[in-house]
Amino acid sequence: MKIWIIGGTKDSRNILNEILKIGENDIIVSTATEYGGKLLENVAKNKNVHVISEKLNVLQIEEMILEKNIDLIIDASHPYAQNISNTVISMVSYLNERVTQEKKVKYIRFERKMVDYGNKNIFKFQDLQEIIKFLRQFENKTILSTLGSNTLAEIKEVGEKNRLFVRILPTTSSIQNAEELGYLPKNIIAMQGPFSKNMNVVMLQDLKIDYLITKESGETGGELQKVKACQECGVTILAIKRPVLDYGTVFNTIEELMRYLVKL
């Protein structure tokens, strides 16, 4: 069977490792960044695995599905990478309308379990702009953004009236981006996660954080540890709601996914 795993998450790497245990499948794993590809360097040495580390456009997606004769697509992309998910879902639908039943490409989604935030010190928003608008009412608050480097430009205004810290990956491009946007080194936390609850607690207490900005990324992404740390420290969580897409067949555990695969 020829499988394409849409990766870039810890989940996708775990799924890949499990699939390699069950037989000789040809597997393509794609990530949108070189960093994601580097995390797959060891497993990429396997003769049955091919890693692609770039953002794929519509034509590249169609070409890969057809030329590589993909049988199954496992979408294990980040919950907020809805663009790639929407594009692949549409492409699979388009291609499947033009072939017989036995040649149709199967698409399945792996979706991380949601974290229970409780109902204390938690506000949820549709997007980052809503959070920024909410924070405009405050002055002299200490805020930690854990959204990464892609939102640095958008969120910078929060630091005009408040003390803003940003937690980003310790890569040259991320740090350089932050510095070019005017972030001071003392406000940049360049560290690789996921972080334990205790690590988060130390950070929240040391920086005297009032608000933590995050996404409903799910348990695997370190979200549970962040939530528990905020609850212990009395920090208010500002969370961007997870996008809701019609994925079709969805699995929330790798065990469920593997039971499905062995039956194919």
* Predicted confidence (pLDDT) per residue in 177-220, tens digit: 999 999 999 999 999 988 999 999 999 999 999 999 999 988 77
CATH numeric code, 122-240: 3.40.50.1980
Q: Where do the CATH 3.40.50.1980 domains begin and end in the chain? A: 122-240
State the chain's mean pLDDT as an integer. 93
DSSP string, the chain: -EEEEE-SSHHHHHHHHHHTTS---EEEEEESSHHHHHTTTTGGGSTTEEEEES---HHHHHHHHHHTT--EEEE---TT-HHHHHHHHHHHHHHHTTS-GGGPPEEEEE-PPPP---SSSEEEESSHHHHHHHHTT--S-EEEE-S-GGGHHHHGGGGGTSEEEEEE-S-HHHHHHHHHTT--GGGEEE--S---HHHHHHHHHHHT-SEEEEE---GGGTHHHHHHHHHHHTPEEEEEPPP----SEEESSHHHHHHHHHT-
% pLDDT > 90, the chain: 76
As a whole number of angstroms, the distance between CA 41 and CA 33 comes to 13
CATH for the 2-112+244-262 domain, from 3.40.50.720, 2.40.30.10, 3.40.50.300, 1.10.10.10: 3.40.50.720
pLDDT per residue as tens digits for the range 222-247 = 899 999 999 999 999 999 999 888 99
Q: What is the reported pTM? A: 0.84
Q: Residue 183 has which token pair? A: 């972030």
Count CA atoms within 13 Å of residue 132 on its CB side. Answer: 14
Q: What is the per-residue pLDDT across 78-108, written as a single tens digit (0 to 9) for each? A: 888 889 999 999 999 999 998 888 889 999 9
Distance set, CA 102 to CA 17, 40, 105, 106, 214 (Å) = 27, 32, 9, 10, 43
Q: Which of 118-122, 125-129, 170-174 has the lowest mean pLDDT?
A: 118-122
In the chain, the largest separation of any two C-alpha atoms, in whole Å, equals 63
Q: Where in the chain is the domain with CATH 3.40.50.720?
A: 2-112+244-262
